[in-house]
């Protein structure tokens, strides 16, 4: 049964105060004095209404590691964070390198019904970096995969990377690269620098990321294909992407919320909650990433939501898994680091967290302007409210948030998916 809503008194991303009517899954009216008969009314005075957030980088773990996360639990976390579309990464068990697996993930998302779940296909078979996966079959499946990534592993062989970039051109796909030269990061545990030396933990040099970014933008230029750089973390990486864009290379890039906020000095606690791939970097890198996101050199924010069961995090640093939760805290961290600091306005937030990721992923029903006739995928945030992160209250099946006990601005009050409040 179709539902009708009136959102009263909210602020559009451009600051205009307006009521919004939702009916039959679409935005049916924008303005004042809208006909509210038969509609459920929500008073959202002083709240900002954004197009539903879109995450291009989400680890849902299903199939294979349902103890850490499922498509359903990840969808719940997504909606709680204001996301109406998420992208399920391929490093599942079995790996999402065939049409059968991506269709399974797609159907699980449809069954959950809380947000759109778009599977990301593996670039190589088994994420082993040697033979290309069934990219064509995945692209032609019911999942219509357009984003391919071996995330968690770098496609380190330049010939394999070239072939992948060439192959996806036939259906308008994009290769999302995890930029990490494996020979420079054998056994690496954290950012290489003064703190890693002090702690006696093997360092992860910035050049391991930057050398792959540099190589791949040149390959993408050579074959005239689309390249997306996952989770950029270094000031040097930003400058390479800036150069590539100035040269006209078709490259896009993402930054995670945790790399906009946290730094490598947190490793001094030896708490593996701060162990992440790629690692937390320096304050200089953090500021470079913020400036690049504001400028648009980095195109989007992506969560890299990486749930893990307690036993793989509550152990020695060297033995712990890499990764942090991200879906439920992303928008608040962007508000704290980018909006409250004056680096970005809400129109830019709408672009970096919805419009641009939907465009990169080819999610045509998402990332739309808030206008009559558009799909009613909407997120509502109260920027004057604040909340404290509690790992025991997250919607994820896992608890590995580095933000436990921290207070953030901005509370997601409502999320509407296909015109229905979730």
Annotated active-site positions, please? 304
Dist CA 284 CA 86 (whole Å): 30
Q: Is 413 helix (H, G, I), strand (E, B) or coil?
A: strand
The tokens for 173 are 């796909």
Residue with tokens 């229905």: 420
Q: How far is CA 58 from CA 92, 308, 347, in A?
A: 12, 13, 24
- Exposed/middle/buried for residue 133 (C-beta within 10 Å: 0-12, 13-18, 19+): buried
Q: Which residues contact 4 (CB under 8 A, 6 or more apart)?
A: 21, 22, 23, 28, 38, 39, 40
Dist CA 54 CA 301 (whole Å): 9
Pairing of strands 407-417, 378-388: antiparallel
The tokens for 273 are 């909650």
Q: Is 97 helix (H, G, I), strand (E, B) or coil?
A: coil
Dist CA 175 CA 189 (whole Å): 26
Sign of CA dihedral 238, 241, 245, 251: negative
Buried/exposed 336-371: b ≥16 CB within 10 Å, e otherwise: bbbbeeebbebebbbbbbbbbbbbbbbbeebbbebe
Q: Which residues contact 37 (CB under 8 A, 6 or more apart)?
A: none
Dist CA 328 CA 334 (whole Å): 12
Dist CA 47 CA 141 (whole Å): 39
The tokens for 251 are 């490259």
Q: How far is CA 258 from CA 276, 303, 313, 341, in A?
A: 9, 8, 17, 16
Backbone angles phi, psi at 252, to 5 degrees: -125, 165
């Amino acid at each position: 049964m179709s539902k009708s809503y009136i959102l009263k008194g909210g602020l559009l991303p451009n600051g205009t105060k307006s009521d919004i009517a939702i009916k039959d899954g679409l935005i049916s009216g924008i303005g004042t004095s809208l006909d509210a008969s038969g509609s459920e009314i929500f008073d959202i005075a002083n709240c900002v209404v954004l197009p539903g957030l879109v995450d291009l980088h989400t680890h849902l773990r299903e199939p294979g590691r349902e103890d850490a996360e499922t498509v359903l639990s990840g969808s719940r976390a997504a909606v709680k964070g204001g996301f109406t579309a998420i992208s399920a990464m391929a490093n599942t068990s079995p790996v999402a390198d065939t049409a059968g697996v991506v269709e399974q993930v797609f159907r699980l998302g449809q069954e959950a019904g809380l947000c759109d779940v778009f599977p990301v296909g593996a670039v190589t078979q088994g994420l082993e970096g040697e033979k290309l996966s069934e990219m064509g079959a995945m692209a032609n499946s019911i999942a219509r995969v357009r984003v391919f990534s071996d995330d968690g592993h770098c496609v380190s062989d330049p010939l394999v990377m070239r072939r992948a970039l060439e192959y996806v051109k036939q259906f308008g796909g994009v290769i999302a690269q995890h930029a990490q030269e494996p020979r420079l990061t054998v056994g690496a545990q954290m950012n290489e620098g003064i703190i890693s030396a002090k702690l006696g933990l093997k360092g992860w040099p910035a050049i391991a990321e930057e050398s792959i970014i540099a190589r791949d933008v040149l390959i993408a230029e050579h074959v005239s294909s689309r390249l997306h750089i996952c989770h950029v973390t270094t000031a040097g990486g930003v400058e390479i992407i800036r150069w590539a864009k100035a040269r006209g290379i078709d490259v896009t890039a993402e930054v995670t919320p945790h790399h906009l906020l946290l730094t490598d000095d947190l490793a001094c606690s030896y708490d593996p909650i701060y162990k992440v791939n790629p690692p937390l970097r320096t304050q200089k890198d953090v500021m470079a990433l913020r400036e690049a996101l504001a400028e648009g050199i980095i195109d989007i924010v992506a969560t890299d939501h990486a749930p893990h069961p307690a036993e793989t995090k509550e152990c020695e640093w060297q033995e712990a898994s890499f990764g942090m939760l991200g879906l439920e805290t992303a928008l608040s961290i962007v508000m704290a680091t980018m909006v409250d600091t004056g680096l970005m306005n809400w129109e830019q937030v709408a672009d970096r967290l919805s419009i641009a990721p939907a465009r990169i992923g080819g999610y045509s029903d998402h990332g739309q302007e808030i206008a009559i006739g558009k799909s009613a995928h909407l997120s509502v945030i109260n920027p004057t409210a604040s909340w404290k992160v509690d790992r025991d209250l997250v919607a994820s099946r896992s608890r590995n948030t580095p933000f436990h006990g921290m207070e953030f601005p901005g509370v997601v009050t409502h999320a509407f998916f296909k015109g229905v409040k979730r």
